[in-house]
Structure 1
Amino acid sequence: MSLSDDLSIGIDFGTSNTVVALADRNGNVEALTFEHGGERLKVYVTALCFWDERHGNGLRTEVEGGPWAIEQFLDGLHAHRFIQSFKTFAASATFKETRIFRERYAFEDLLSAFLRTLVRHGGSRLDWGARNVVIGRPVQFAGYNPDDDLAMQRYRTAFSRLGAEQARYVYEPVGAAFFYARQLDHDATVLVADFGGGTSDFSVMRFSRQGGVLRAEPLGHAGIGIAGDAFDYRIVDKVVSPRLGKGGLYRSMGKILSIPNHYYANFARWNHLAMMKGSGDLKELRELARVALEPEPLEKFIDIIEYDLGFALYRAVSSAKVALSNQEETTFQFQGESVDIEAKITRADFESWIAEDVKRIAGTVDEALSRAGVRPEEIERVFLTGGTSFVPAIRRLFVDRFGETRLTSADQFESIAYGLALIGQTDRPERWAVMN
């Protein structure tokens, strides 16, 4: 596709993946691509790798993002810090900063570092200061007691550093809804369900066409900080952590005590696991291993953190989750250093672990409908986007409420960014923006 000038940019900064789309005045839209390893990628993995390189007589911290971060991490040629799922810290008031080698990084520092790598690999088409930029945001940010105002302040700081001071922020499911609405040839009330890595967001929209121009009225939104990463958490908590000392005991001052669970709660969340090596957790775990009644499982836990095996674990968990979307059981396998875990997981097991999460997601769907003043039978189409929408328990939730024939879906990665870029080409893109 060949795009004309006067482009708008849509940015879907996701917990697991980031997509950037470009749209022109004629309604043409395409994803920005990244050339890596002989492939043209439309998805830029939301990950950072920091490492030290010697320059002259001193050391300088270098950073890469996306697939280049993974490549640098897997090469393992330097001491490094690998960070993923850091979007989950955006709305956390308790996350102040993390130390990486000799420097301290607040959330906005991590985000701006990530964006700079994206710009470097994306080329000259990302001159954000001179273009109309529309950035997606969750309806509700992830995390315990999320502070949306804090998250937006951090977003604005990071994007402003790249020249996007005038960017507009739009709910992610609204971007997906706008992309989907181009297919409509009649007026319709649509529910958009956007499942990301950190959040599940829902928007009810009323679409109509007047004089050939697409009109949209947002009727109601709701979101919850439960999505793909939360389902991963259940697999780690049920399958991996018990083999790494969870539930174990240690001796202290003549007493037998349980190993604190908070280490395993952090371990099972990708954003926290990425930070454990730079926090005091690793030192404390080593001390616990010395007094544990069964030290070997704790030593394996320490190896995963010390040898940066979190990304390999993430891949193993994701593979098991995807397999359970297509078959009734799978074998979870993870190997690295001293750790060798193999376990059979059935879909029934997995669905029992995530049942409470699915229930809360269902409640959030009902909340979106309630805010919109719309009954389930008044929804003409349900547009599903995001990888978690393929989880059978999630799919069943929507089939039960709306019926199979009303469900539709699109590219699980690109639809939000496409819609955001297209919003940037409307007569009044500010109408779609969230005012906070």
Structure 2
Amino acid sequence: MPDTSHTRGQNAPLSIGIDFGTSNTVVAFAYADGRAEALTFDHNGQTLQGFVTALCFWDERKGGSLTTRVEGGPWAIDQFLDGSAALRFIQSFKTFAASATFQETRILREPYRFEDLLATFLRTLVKHADGRLDLTASNIVIGRPVTFAGRRPDDALAMQRYRTAFERLGAKDPAYVYEPVGAAFFYARQLKRDSTVLVADFGGGTSDFSVMRFEQVAGQLRAEPLGHAGIGIAGDAFDYCIVDRIVAPRLGKGGHFRSFDKELSIPNHYYANLARWHQLALMKTNGDLNGLQDLLKSAVEPDKLRKFIEIIEFDMGFSLYSAVSRTKIALSSEEEARFSFKGGDIAIEGKLRRESFERWIAPGVAKIAATLDEALNRAHVEGTAIDRVFLTGGTSFVPAIRRLFVERFGEERLVSTDQFESIAYGLALIGQDVQKERWAVTGSAA
């Protein structure tokens, strides 16, 4: 079991593991004595073990010209919430890694491709590491999803973009390893006997599964990957179910506006932006806010639409999604939870029963279950042959997800953790394996 203390070792680490996540990024170091520790960040007096996967760009005037500044992690959120200058906030951009349709986005006059965003993010991460993170080190292991998010993810394109970005930071031929494999290595240190292990890693954008065989050979832990599968459905999709059913109708979704002598439906595309809270800020510049203000003049229920406009204008998306997250967490332990969001003159209150939430997310849970079956089939392993199931990630605590695994494998075989450093720890430990190349991903997951 890795030492999860966060004191820095006396010697340089043998390997570095990087878990670049949809919501948070975690870096871990592994040392010669078998310890693994997470890179920590001091943010406003608080020690953080994760670096929020976010960027904020803003203009700063120096002399007579504008200079673009950028921050990452929690400092990006600080800048966004301050909102004292024209800015562009970007979060969860990992979801575009495998998208061929995403070519570039324009940020304050400059075009940015995915690899530009990732390289910029990594620079902010290195900056706030205060000299403790050297990406030119020769032994770096980087996590990647089994299946990238998106409707038609291009695995090869995503890996090309990853490599380009990390090369710009001087990374020397890093190894890329499936994220659940990293989690498996973290967990395997607890095993007392040879075991076949299923790892289920639930992130913000993807749910990934790996089947691994662990054995003790001559006092050394040996592991063999048997099969992998993944799907671009996870916690963010479940959050949106709450937004779509509770919040959006109170902001005018499903409402109407008058056009001459007809009543027409307010276009749903405005509410698609509620899928990600940071997308609301983009509505100020892409014409959507102007469109809503025009609709307000003829809306049948103008008060609802006015609330939506106010949330956009005053950048309330972060607070809104914090309320959503609190509600989802409460439903993990309670049969009923209260949703409560307040901002300015807006108050959205409502009760949500777990049975309703589970009904909304049922299609996603069914797809996750099918992906689990796919992992077992690729491993040529029956469910009865799985000795342990290691669940990691916040979504693993959603009762409907937990029930899926209890019904398949039984409560006694399940092990859970909310320690979101587990993947990074495992990746760093893999870097110490003399045969680490056998864990590296060279092609697609299929």
Taking structure 2 as the reference length, what is the TM-score of the superposition? 0.93
Looking at structure 2, the residues matched to 271 and 203 of structure 1 have their Cα atoms a distance apart, in angstroms, of 31
Answer with 419-428 or 264-273: which moved more: 264-273
The answer for the alignment partner of 1:215 in structure 2 is 222
The answer to whether the 8 Å contact 1:98/1:278 transfers is no
Q: Are residue 203 (structure 1) and residue 210 (structure 2) matched?
A: yes
Which residue number in structure 2 is paired with residue 68 of structure 1? 75
Unaligned residue ranges in structure 2 (runs of 5+): 1-6
What is the distance in 2 between the residues matched to 1:192 and 1:3? 33
Name which of structure 1's ranges 188-197 and 240-249 shifts more when overlaid on structure 2: 240-249
Shift of residue 193 of structure 1? 0.3
- How much does 1:106 deviate? 2.0
Task: Return the alpha-carbon distance in structure 2 between the equivalents of residues 404 and 424 of structure 1.
Answer: 32
| Aligned equivalent of 1:413 | 420
Q: Distance in 1 between matches of 2:330 and 2:323?
A: 11
Name the % identity: 70
2:331 to 324, 327, 347: 324
CA–CA distance in 1 between the matches of 2:207 and 2:31? 29
Q: Is the 8 A contact 1:50 1:82 kept in 2?
A: yes
* Secondary structure class of the residue paired with 1:130: coil
Query: TM-score under structure 1 normalisation?
Result: 0.95
Contact 1:189–1:206 under 8 Å retained in 2: yes
Which letter maps to 1:318?
S
Counterpart amino acid of 2:176?
A: Y
Shift of 1:314: 1.4
Q: Shift of the alpha carbon at 1:285?
A: 2.6
Quick one: structure 1 residues 391 and 256, their matched pair in 2 at CA, closer, same or farther if it must change by over 3 Å?
Answer: same
In structure 2, distance between residues paired with 1:171 and 1:231: 23
Q: Which structure 2 residues correspond to residues 268-279 of structure 1 after superposition, within 5 A? A: 268-270=275-277, 272-273=279-280, 275-279=282-286
Residues 93-125 of structure 1 deviation map (CA, whole Å, 9 limit, x = unaligned): 222222222222222222222111110001222
How far apart are the structure 2 equivalents of 1:389 and 1:74? 30
Letter in 1 for 2:133: L
CA displacement at 1:23 relative to structure 2:
0.8
Describe the superposition over 1:30-86 as per-residue Cα deviations: whole angstroms up to 9, x where unpaired. Answer: 000101111221111112222222212222121111111122223333332222222
| Counterpart selection for 1:422 from 419, 429, 434 | 429
Where does residue 393 of structure 1 map in the other structure? 400
Residue aligned with 1:10, SS = strand
Aligned-partner Cα distance in 2 for 1:192–1:156: 26
2:360 to 353, 362, 367: 353
- Name the CA distance, whole Å, in 2 between partners of 1:68 and 1:118: 10
Question: Comparing 221-230 with 123-132, which one deviates more in the overlay?
Answer: 123-132
Whichever residue aligns with residue 146 of structure 2, its letter is V
- Counterpart of 1:168 (choices 148, 153, 175) is 175
Q: Is 1:30 the counterpart of 2:43 in the alignment? A: no
Q: Which residue of 2 aligns with 1:39?
A: 46
* Structure 1 contact 7–131 (Cα < 8 Å) conserved: no
Aligned to 2:126: 119
Which 5+ residue runs of structure 1 have no aligned equivalent?
Answer: none
Q: Can you list the C-alpha shifts for 1:156-206, whole angstroms capped at 9, x where unaligned?
A: 121111111411111000000011111113211000000000000000001
Q: Does 1:131 align with 2:138?
A: yes
- Contact 1:156-1:165 at 8 Å conserved across structures: no
Please say if residues 60 and 68 of structure 2, whose CA atoms lie closer than 8 Å, have aligned partners that are also in contact. yes
What amino acid is aligned across from residue 229 of structure 2 in structure 1?
A
The 1-side partners of 2:82 and 2:169 are apart by 29
- Flag the 1:277–1:219 CA change in 2: closer, same or farther, 3 A: farther
Is 1:246 aligned with 2:232?
no
> How far, CA to CA, are the matches of 2:123 and 2:319 in structure 1?
25
Is the CA contact (8 Å cut-off) linking 1:135 and 1:170 kept in structure 2? Answer: yes
- Sort the Cα spacing of 1:348 and 1:403 in 2 relative to 1 into closer, same or farther, 3 A: same
Matched letter for residue 259 of structure 1: I
2:332 alignment partner, SS class:
helix
In the TM superposition, what is the alpha-carbon distance from 1:412 to its structure 2 partner? 3.0
Counterpart residue number, 2:391: 384
Match of 1:295 in 2: 302
- Separation (CA, whole Å) in 1 of partners of 2:257 and 2:421: 49
For residues 288-336 of structure 1, give each alpha carbon's deviation from its aligned partner in whole angstroms, at most 9, with x where no partner exists.
3334333332232222223221111111111111111121111111122
Are 2:16 and 1:17 aligned?
Answer: no
Counterparts of 2:292 and 2:275 in 1: how far apart (Å)?
Answer: 15
Contact 2:278/2:317 (<8 A) preserved: no
Identify the residue that residue 4 of structure 2 maps to in structure 1: none
Considering only aligned residues, what root-mean-square deviation do their CA atoms show, in Å?
1.7
